[in-house]
Chain A
Amino acid sequence: MTRHLLSIDDLSTADIEQIFTTAAEMHDVQRREVKKLPALRGRTVINLFFEDSTRTRSSFEIAGKWLSADVINLSAKGSSASKGESLRDTVLTVTAMGIDGLVVRHGASGAAEQISRWIDVPVINAGDGTHEHPTQALLDGYTLTRKLGTLEGKHVAIVGDLTHSRVFRSNVKSLVKLGATVTAVAPPTLMPAGVGDWSKTAGFATSYDLDAVLPEADAVMMLRVQRERMSGAFFPTAREYTVGYGLTRDRLAVLKPGTPILHPGPMNRGLEISADAADALDSVVLDQVSAGVAVRMSVLYHLLAGEETSA
């Protein structure tokens, strides 16, 4: 298993399957009355968050605590550049306190990878800019595997603001590794730069036409669209976006029965996802949240349990 989890690229298909197997065991623990496992007793994990986050931070915090780690949340909001301290200095300071693992969220793409080169404890990327969010993709893959049995040969549509989405970048990699067929759906302005070449080498498809993709899909992952994007001329109005790319009530009707609907949250109800879709029987939004804790327990376990504690 990898030393750091910075990107889905760090994991082989076997690694991902191993993480899922362990996550399933952890998932069972969640249903117990006493949830704590002793696996990381005596280990200290810092959640270093340079960017606001509620769900990811608490999910990592709960995951660490149920493994008996000491979990400390540090909010370092605002770029360290603006405070006059370099990112390296900030991270070295935190690490010097004597920690065993660092969970990092940063608004800048690549921050977790840069940090991993400066320190010698495992780094887990909890979202770096618009680059990756590997534990989100793992929990999505885990959720889908439980719903669909296997992802081999299954068709997953990922729909939304792909160019600004770290969830998309991690998911497309992990879903392809798990054998799924992926179609990335967005208007041209919200497709990542150079996606034509990238999709060819990475083995996924792209489409501007959601209605052509939905009837073939075995799962639909809706991604958040920020209203601020309109000022960047990415699309004209929220209304037009919804008509073109929203999972509306009408579009629900064309899905095959039992097609899971995913959303990493927070949802913009009425924009990319209608209330009917968000609350549909096949919506797995809350399963994703619950799987998040199990998958993060599994990741923390695999990356930290074998590590020597710091002196």
Chain B
Amino acid sequence: MSTLIKGATLPDGTTTDVLVQDGTIAELGKVTTKAEQTIDADGLRLLPGLVDLHTHLREPGREDAETVLTGSRAAAVGGFTAVLAMANTSPVTDTAEAAERVLDLGRAAGLVDVQPVGAVTKGLAGEELAELGLMARSRAKVRVFSDDGRCVHDPRVMRRALEYVKAFGGVVSQHSQDPSLAGPTACCHEGELSGQLGLPGWPGVAEEVIVARDVMLARHTGSRVHVAHVSTAGSVEVIRWAKAQAERDGHWDVTAEVTPHHLLLTTDLLTGYDPTFKVNPPLRPDDDVRALRAALADGTIDAVATDHAPHARHDKEHAFVDAAFGMLGLETALPVVTTVMVENGLLDWAGVARAMSVNPARIAGLDDAHGRPVAVGEPANLTLVDPAAQVVVDRAASVSLSRNNPWHDRKLTGRIVATLLRGTPTVLEGALA
């Protein structure tokens, strides 16, 4: 199988033909070799395949909301070639067998590399460590561990987890939410609007105190902590400080991700109590959104991660405090980043490639195959983007099983034209190949 991508513009702005053969990039420059398939990439950007550090695929357990197959479809349509599947399924991914099962379901779907995230604690209960080492040694080679959806709030457990994963180069991805400051009913940003709406608030400080604690624990243990879905300006300040310390010390590391929705949507969308906009961490005010954009632009935040969280319709049709947390994100991530960051001049395409492919691949330990430069001999995990196309999002057009799409009816710039996984097109002309 060979594919010729003609006249693509690389992240650095140079234009080239790209011949893909047997899963790798075979030729660059002006290519005259004949290929079985040609994609006209005039005016299009060619990026290394996108990597999502934070996806909920819901299988096993909630196959009515999403499956590994349907989630893989959404990922491919969104330009992703690898996704990390969070552990909060039913049963939880807290054993080697569970991790291998997710890996195998991903391979069977064959549209993106589905890399399981392992739970930090058994059953996400926050008490006893899950079998982190066995998951790491399994065929799934788990390197990212997270109790996402819940915070590893006991500092003793977090300290031990950070220490333990050093043995196999693991990283703990933390959902930073102090459960005493933002309890189970906390359902939106605590501030003027929550005060008026009478909704139990989730103050920014409930995130910030955990981020601050965790970076100190990472420094103490000489380990790696990854801050999932950063949502406040205060967290950004702590991470900026911690990164400077880690760089100076050299023996520990902190990385961070931000979701597309926290880069654009604000808490005032909750005025009508529409649970489509209920998400954890919650949508924040404009000041936080601006700080997050700036942090992504200056590299304080390493990666964009979707926190794609499909939900069956009936789980969103409860009263606001009872409705499920989360929103779809895979198919719209790149258009949101294009609209928010590229169009506003905050990030160039090399920056997009870093934030959506290179950095997440490195953080996840997938950088042998993903987040690679577009160069001869490299694996052909590639995403072709029309940077000028404007699309009005239609939730009915999604390939996800769910419809909890906060971008419905919104006009976004940037469209995925094609996605190639090891040289095989998974998406062509914007649709599943």
Contact = CB atoms under 8 A, between A and B. Distances in A.
Interface in B165-196: 190-196
A270 B195 CA distance: 28
B198 interface: yes
A79 B195 CA distance: 23
B62 to A, nearest CB: 14
A306 B277 CA distance: 35
Interface string B264-284: 000000001111000000000
A108 B322 contact: yes
Interface in A165-190: 166, 169
B201 A109 contact: no
Contact of B196 (A81, A86, A88, A169): A169
Nearest to A194: B192
B320 A109 contact: yes
Interface stretch (A126-134, A143-151, A250-258): A126-134
A109 B321 contact: yes
Interface string B180-219: 0000000000111111111101010000000000000000
B160 interface: no
Interface residues of B, number: 24
A227 B76 CA distance: 54
A8 B342 CA distance: 43
A130 B318 contact: no
A193 B318 contact: no
A109 B197 contact: yes
Contacts of A89: 314, 317
A195 interface: yes
A80 interface: yes
A53 B191 CA distance: 29
B319 interface: yes
How many chain A residues sit at the interface, stated as a range, is: 20 to 34
Interface in A107-143: 107-111, 113-114, 117, 128-132
Interface string B60-93: 0000000000000000000000000000000000
B273 A114 contact: yes
A197 B192 contact: yes
A110 B197 CA distance: 7
Interface of A: 79-81, 86-89, 106-111, 113-114, 117, 128-132, 163, 166, 169, 192-195, 197-198
A-B complex: 9 closest residue pairs judged by Cβ atoms = A194-B192, A110-B273, A108-B319, A192-B195, A130-B198, A131-B198, A88-B317, A193-B195, A109-B198
5 contacts: A89-B314, A113-B272, A129-B199, A131-B198, A194-B194
